[in-house]
Each structure stands twice: as structure tokens, then as C-alpha cells.
Amino acid sequence: MTQTNHMTRRAGKTVLWKDAWRAVTGNGRRFAAIVVICAVGVMMMCGLNSVGRDIRGGLDDFFDKTNMHDVSIISTLGFDDADIDALRGVDGVADAAGVHTASATTKVGGKQASATVTALNDRGTDRPYLTEGRLPESAHEIAVTRQYLDESGKRVGDRLTFSEDAAGNAAEGTSATFGDGEYTIVGVVIDPNDIVNPSGPLALVSGAKTVYPMFVAAPAVAAEDAPYTSAVVTVSGAAALNTYDDDYLALVGSADRAIGMIRSDREAARTTAVRDAAYDKAMEAVNEQKTKADALPDGLPAKAAAEAKIADAEKTIRDKADAMPEAKWIIRDRTAVTSYADVKTQSEMIARLGTLFPALFLVIALLVSLTAVARMVEEDRGLIGTYKALGYTRRETMLKYFLYAGVASLTGGLLGDLLGLAGLPFVFTRRLISRIYVLPHYPLLVDWRLAVGGVALFVVAVTGCAMAACTGSLRLPPAELMRPKAPKAGRTIALQRVGFVWNRLSFLGKVTARNLFRYKSRALMVIVGVLGCTALMTAGFGMGTSALTLMPRQHTEIAAYDVMAVTKVADHDAAQDELDADGDVTGALPLQLGSATLSASDDGDGDGGGKVTAQLMVVPDGRSLDGYIHLHTAAGAPIALNDDGVVVTANAAKVLGLADGGSLDVTDALANTATVTVSGVAQYYTGNVVFMTQSTYEKAFDADYAPNADLVLVSGDEDERIAFADRLAGEDMYLTVTSSAKQERDFSKSFMIFFVMIGFIVVMAAVLAVVVLYTLASTNISERERELATIKVLGFRRREVHGYVNKEILLLSAIGVALGLPCGRVLLGFLVGKLDLPGMNIVPNVEWYCYVAAAALAFLFTWLVSRATNRSLDRIDMVGALKSPE
């Protein structure tokens, strides 16, 4: 008997398993809906997080291949071999190398341009990444970037010349670092210190002048005893770590501290060496006079007078040598490299989106699975009662729905892993990120914990909903389950109490209203699904208009000048006279323009951490920015530039945590640092700038004001203003000439990346809307087959039946759209707050056509779903649906 019961039990379980698998294959549309929504959610969770890791991994691999420095040091008096040897002896330092670099000018496309020429060091540190040709080996060979070749029209094998800019180099008055003459281009390289795509949005937003990196061989250094411009250090064991990991930062931090321990001694030694060298060189003429004086007979009055003059001269020379500035080291790690900080910010931003979007799709997956399984339970009501009557336990009866939800969510999750770990990173890194950075390679990094965890999250959530949907029915006794569920009792709805509305509704209108209140949970799901879809599309379109109007708003609201022209300091007066005499110029404001590194002072209101690269604009005393740059707060209140402090743009202030009254450290291109007070934070959409008056600059830096640029107002239309800028750029005295009108054109082209992102968001919104609407619409038809069959029997024509059902979903969609549009604006504000794009201060801006497009697409998706479900309405079997289930 026991054996018979055991065999019966096994047979029963076999039947249950067969029924469970039959449910998977027999409810294909609902199954597909759960698969799709889970796949999209897992794809975005794994994919967006993988993109962030891939970007960081790509930069880490690139740094490893170029033997990128872990620490760089700049000295105001340069370095000698003794300094480099001392650095190599520091604990934790793997190697150190001295670097010769010089600022230079060269011709690009017939126009004067700025360049930075660097000699390859003998330790292979900061070695440029070769993409074509070879690296220079002899004295007159040079490697350049692809940007230089494209803009100069040259190619490998051609020749170029450059001249060093004494004003731009650290050691003024010294002989040239590199030999003059022609250099042959032998290779095309990527500078490891700057991986920003020169034609991409970040480069255009920064507004900084173009400086072409060039690399020569060590024999190109003309003077054997020329001081090193900087020193670069690699840390033992750092290359094996990811450059963004805490372990790497801790390791480099300890090396930083060790280097700091020899800093004061080496600064003193270098100061003494430079002063002694200057004293010895100045004393050459004095020694000649001293030799002549020593040859004179003793007691001769002229000899005594000569010796007295020589002694005075010697004392004067010693005093001047001792008055020379002391050496000062500035120690920086990779966080000071602009590209390092940019990649960190972008990857963190993408990772945040990888948390936000999956959360939305997880909620939708719960709604879809709850609806699908609940309907399956209702359809299987009699079967569940039969199982219970035969003695099957609640757990055994639940197996069917658990398996259904589990297989659907697991299938979707695995598909999402495949798309998220391979497909999405490919699209983002190869098609989007490559437009921002020029990294040669992005690795495909897989975090299996995230891959497994994402699938597990959706499987647990969806199966949990399935269990919740089963619980209510499984509590009922078999006799009640095997009878049809009693229909919901009719109730007076709120609209019926509004007589002047209710009495004017048609019969079908009244039926529609009652059905909406009758199926409130399903109505709420439709509204939520359409709301989410509309909000996503509104935010996506708004992101596009916010980005694309960034540069036009910059020039319309803030930077009103038409041209920014930069010269050498020595050429500025001549250029100013030329501009003042030009009939096309309606105004020209001279400035001192340079690059600077900003950091919040530890004793200020900032957090004391982080660095921002910015332009430094010094306005001459007695002149105003009015008419050229309108400084105002985000609220529109004007900001006056005065001698009480400096004005910082909003993006830099946000990154550094600055506010009015805060302290800011400003380090100029010559490594001179000054601490200033922030007197205002100005709205600025593209780039980071710090503004100060001439008096503030001269007091802070103890240096003379030296104008080298002009902001120019030009008459004529857009094409004429661009032509004027091109004419200036053709003159040798101008290093760079930037046209605001041309910058706007180039900016719009470079922001194709945002159109791809918008397309991605719209596709995700379409998936969300179609899955939700189709699931709920088909479930609605399934539940109301008897009702729909009845109205068909009563003579409703095909289109009337369609309208009877579709009117409800269209009305619910309209409510969802109405709620989704303002929610989309709120979502955009949230997303923009998380988009920490370097140098960009994106302000949410949703144009009217964005709302129209989002609403139109939402209704289009609703209409398409209605068209698809109309076929189900046409296939309803009136006789079969009206048969009594008893």
C-alpha cells in the first residue's frame, strides 16, 4: 500500500511538472513581457556599470602602456641630476626621470599656433603612445598628434619648424632648450597627459586655446647642463593596481609623503646651486678686472680705488644672487591630470544612471509579473481547486506559477547580462565615449558579482510577486475555487454624483467611466506605465535641448564678445593698435589670459580637496567687462568685479565646494600660487574661469600685469564675424583666435553623442510602454471575454467593440501623459544634477516641442498596442465565452 501511494505521489508530481512547463509554453505573450522587462532592467544595471568600469580600465591600461607617472613634480628653478638621483633614492619610488619641456610657436595651416615640445626621457616614463610611424631617435626628428596633422595638412615625412617662447618657459633669459632648424615628422602619437578628443564636446566646452603636443628625442636638447623643467616619478607596485582603486591611491599617497620628506633639503640645495651659478657667471667680468688690478704695483692709488670698486661690485653681485627667488616644489599625483579627473567623473556619473534606470524597470517588472501571474491564477481557478481536492499541498500547487515566473525572469536576466556586459558597453565606449576621448582601447571588464546579483535581484522580485499573487486563491477551499468567481458588485461612482457631467455622457461613455473605477488597480498600472514612459522621453528630449542650447545660451546671456584673440605679450601692443584702427571692430577689451589650476583652500569654506583647470582672466584697472562678459548669479543678480576678491564660475565653484567669502588657491602656468577670496560665483555654462582685476592679480601674485589677449566685438552677420576671425588668425602676431559663432557651429556637430543618448532613452521608454500596455490590455480582454462576447451578440459592430475597449486605455494613457510631462521635467532636473560633465554647467531646459514629441510618442505607442490587441477582440469566440463554466 505504501509503495502504491509512493508511485501515485510520483505520478502526481510528474503531472504537476508537465502542467508547469505547459504554462510556460502556453502563455507566450505574458512570458515574453516578463522576459523583455527583466532583460532591459538587468541590461541597464550591468551595462551602465560595466561602461563605467570599461572607461576606467581603458585609461588604466593606457597609463600602463605609456608608463605614466604616478607623481610629477614642478620646481620654480627646475631640477638638476642631483635632484633626480635624490628622488630615485626615496622609499617606495621605483624610478624617477627629469623632463625637458619648452613652450613654442609654430605654423599650422599658415597661422601662428602654440605648441609644447617635450624631449623623451631615458627612463621611458610618460612615453607617448605611438599610432603611426616611429618615435624620434635623432636630434632633428619629431612626433606630433593626429590633430596637428589634420589641421596643418602635413603627414609623416614632412618637416616643421618651431621657435621657443621665452615668456612661456620657466627659465627666462636662458638659452633655448632645443636646437633650432627643421624637424622631420617621423611618428603620430597620443599624449598620455591629455586624452581629450580635440574635436569632441569637452574640448570645445573648455574654451582653452589649442596647444599642440610635440615630442623630440633626447639629443635634441641643445645644452648639456640645461635644467630639467619637471620630474616624473613611478611608484613601486603601482602599475599592478587599478589607477582608481583605493589601494593605488594609498600606495601613491605614501610615496608622496616620502618625497615630501626630502623636499625642503632639495629646494635649499637647488636654490644654492642656482644662486652660486648666477654669482659665478656674473663674477666672470669682475674676476677679469680683479686680475688686472692685481697686476698693478702695490701702493698705486689707482690700484686701491680699483680694489674698492671690485669689492663693491662683488658685494652687489652677491646681494643680487641672494635675492633670487628660492626653489619651490609642487608635488602632484595623477589626480592633477585633467583626463584622470574627467574619466573619474564620467564613470561615476554613468554608474549612478546604472542605479536609477534599473530601479524604474524593476518596479515595472513587478507590476507586469503581478498582473500576468494574477490573471493566470484566475484562469486556473478551477484547476487549483481540483489540485487541492486531490490533496496537493499549497507548495506543490504553487510550483506552476513559481516556475513560470522564475523561468521568465531568469531567461530575461541572462539575456540582459549578455546585452549589458557586451552590447551596451560596445555602443557606449566605441560609439560615444570614443568621441570624447582618444584612448586606443577599452577593455571589456566583467564583474560577475554584478552579473549574478542583477539576475538574482529580478528573479527574487518577480517570483516573489508570483507567490504573492497566488497566496489569496490558495487560501480558499476547493469547493469555492471550482466555482466561478463572483463578479464585482456594481457601485455608484463619484462621477455619477456630478449630474451635469454624468447626464451628458453617452451610454458607452458611462460604461467606460464605470469600468475605469471597477478595475482601479489595472487602471493605476496603465497610468504608471505611461507616466514612466512619458517622463523618460521628456527627460531625454530635454537633455538634448539642454545640451544643444548650452553654447548659444553662453554667448547670448553671458559671453557677448564675438572673437577672443590671443598674442604673445611682446606683440600685444601692436595687435591692440591694429584692432583699434580696424573698421570692423566696434570694441576691444585687453586682458591678461592664462591657464590656472584652482583648488579650495583648507582654511576656507571649501572642502580643501579636488582641483579644477580653468582660464585666468585679468581685467585692467579702469576697464569693465560690461558689454563683453555679463557676470551674474544663477538667479540673474549682476556681479561686479572689484578689488575685494575674485569671481569664480559656477561649475568650478560646485566642484570645489566654494561660496561667496570662501578662500581659493590659484596656481598659474609658472607654478606660482596665490590664495584669494571668492567675492562672487557667476553663472557660466561652458568652461571654468576665474576673473580678477589687475590690482588683485598684482597684489596676489606679486607680478606685473601683462596683457596678451583681447575680447573683440565685431560688426556684421555670423559669416562676416567668422571671416574676421579667420583673417586675424592668418597674422603671425596672433597665437590663437576663437570665433564665438564658429564655436557654436562646431559645438552642435560634436554633440551628436546626445542624440544617441536620446535615442537610447526613447527606445527604453518605448519598451517600457509597449510591454506594460500590451500586458494590461491583453489581460483586460482576457478577463472580460464574457462581457465582450455579450456586446458582440447584442449587435455591436467590429469598430464599436474596438472603441468600447480602446477608449478606456486611451483615456488612461492621456492621464499618464498629463502626469508624465511634469514628472519628466523633475526627472531631467535630477539627471542633470547627477551629470557632472567636466567644464559644463548644464541647466535643465525643456522646450515646448519636447513635451509635444514625448506626448505624441506615448500616444503612438498606445495606438500601436491597441491595433495589436484589436486582433484578440476579433478572435473572441462568442459561443464559447458565453457557455456556463458550471
Whole-number pLDDT of residue 170? 46
Instruction: For the chain, give percent helix, strand, coil, nearest 5.
Output: 60, 15, 25
Exposed (0-12), middle (13-18) or buried (19+): which is 692, by Cβ within 10 Å? buried
Whole-number pLDDT of residue 609? 53
Residues 678 and 576 reside in one and the same domain = yes
Whether 769 is covered by a domain: the verdict is no
CA distance 689 to 304: 61
pLDDT-derived band of residue 189, with 50, 70 and 90 as boundaries? very high
Whether 509 is covered by a domain: the verdict is no
Please name the residues in contact with 615: beta carbons below 8 A apart, sequence gap of 6 or more: 207, 208, 593, 594, 595, 596, 687, 688, 689, 690
Of the three residues 716, 740, 764, the one that is the final residue of a domain is 740
**Residue range 1-19: average pLDDT?**
57
Residues 201 and 310 reside in one and the same domain = no
- Give phi and psi for 719, each to the nearest 5: -65, -40
**Residue range 187-206: average pLDDT?**
73
**Residue range 89-106: average pLDDT?**
90
Whole-number pLDDT of residue 172? 42
Cα diameter, the chain: 144
Of the three residues 707, 740, 773, the one that is the final residue of a domain is 740
Whether 395 is covered by a domain: the verdict is no
pLDDT at 636 over 80: yes
- Entry pTM: 0.73
**Residue range 374-391: average pLDDT?**
78
Whole-number pLDDT of residue 401? 80
Q: Are 670 and 168 in contact (CB under 8 A)?
A: no
Residues 701 and 612 reside in one and the same domain = yes
What element of type H or E holds 370? helix 338-379
pLDDT at 171 over 50: no
Please name the residues in contact with 261: beta carbons below 8 A apart, sequence gap of 6 or more: 90
Whole-number pLDDT of residue 107? 85
pLDDT-derived band of residue 529, with 50, 70 and 90 as boundaries? confident
796-to-329, 791, 799 alpha-carbon distances in Å: 89, 6, 8
CA distance 351 to 340: 17
Helices (H), 380-422: 381-389, 394-418
pLDDT digits (tens, 9 = 90+) for 832-871: 776 666 667 777 888 889 899 999 998 888 888 888 887 7
- Give phi and psi for 754, each to the nearest 5: -70, -30
The dihedral region occupied by 872, where left means phi > 0, alpha psi between -120 and 50, and beta the remainder, is: alpha
Residues 278 and 193 reside in one and the same domain = no
Domain that holds residue 312: 273-327
Residues 246 and 158 reside in one and the same domain = yes
Of the three residues 281, 306, 327, the one that is the final residue of a domain is 327
pLDDT digits (tens, 9 = 90+) for 700-750: 888 888 999 999 999 888 888 888 888 887 787 887 888 888 877 776 665
Q: Which of 112-126, 603-617, 647-661, 778-792 has the lowest mean pLDDT?
A: 603-617
Please name the residues in contact with 481: beta carbons below 8 A apart, sequence gap of 6 or more: 381, 382, 384, 385, 388, 473
Task: Read off the amino acid at residue 183.
Answer: Y
Residues 203 and 312 reside in one and the same domain = no
- Out of 306-315, 452-461, 470-479, give the one with best mean pLDDT: 452-461
The dihedral region occupied by 473, where left means phi > 0, alpha psi between -120 and 50, and beta the remainder, is: alpha
Residues 676 and 695 reside in one and the same domain = yes
pLDDT-derived band of residue 90, with 50, 70 and 90 as boundaries? very high
pLDDT-derived band of residue 73, with 50, 70 and 90 as boundaries? very high
Q: Which of 3-17, 644-658, 857-871 has the lowest mean pLDDT?
A: 3-17
Closest CA to 200 of 147, 279, 130: 147
Whole-number pLDDT of residue 287? 78
Whether 812 is covered by a domain: the verdict is no
510-to-82, 257, 788, 796, 807 alpha-carbon distances in Å: 93, 79, 16, 16, 12
**Residue range 521-525: average pLDDT?**
77
CA distance 800 to 759: 36
The larger pLDDT score, comparing residue 81 to residue 544, is at 81
Instruction: Give the single-character DSSP code of 504.
Output: T
Whether 355 is covered by a domain: the verdict is no
Task: Read off the amino acid at residue 44.
Answer: M
CA distance 233 to 258: 12
CA distance 232 to 219: 19
Residues 211 and 243 reside in one and the same domain = yes
**Residue range 762-774: average pLDDT?**
80
The Cβ-side half-sphere exposure at 672, using a 13 Å CA radius, reads 16
Whole-number pLDDT of residue 248? 92
Closest CA to 172 of 224, 109, 89, 102: 102
Number of structural domains (the chain) is 3
CA distance 512 to 177: 85
Whether 781 is covered by a domain: the verdict is no
Residues 628 and 592 reside in one and the same domain = yes
Whether 150 is covered by a domain: the verdict is yes
Residues 181 and 249 reside in one and the same domain = yes
Whether 504 is covered by a domain: the verdict is no
- Out of 352-356, 414-418, 446-450, 806-810, give the one with best mean pLDDT: 414-418
Tell me how far apart the terminal alpha carbons of the chain are, to the nearest angstrom.
36
pLDDT at 89 over 80: yes
723-to-567, 578, 726 alpha-carbon distances in Å: 19, 17, 5
The larger pLDDT score, comparing residue 847 to residue 499, is at 847
Q: Which of 107-116, 286-295, 542-551, 746-755 has the lowest mean pLDDT?
A: 746-755
Residues 255 and 293 reside in one and the same domain = no
Q: Which of 187-191, 432-436, 584-588, 637-641 has the lowest mean pLDDT?
A: 432-436
CA distance 142 to 215: 6
Whole-number pLDDT of residue 516? 73
Residues 212 and 104 reside in one and the same domain = yes
pLDDT digits (tens, 9 = 90+) for 235-277: 999 999 988 888 999 999 999 999 999 999 999 999 888 888 8
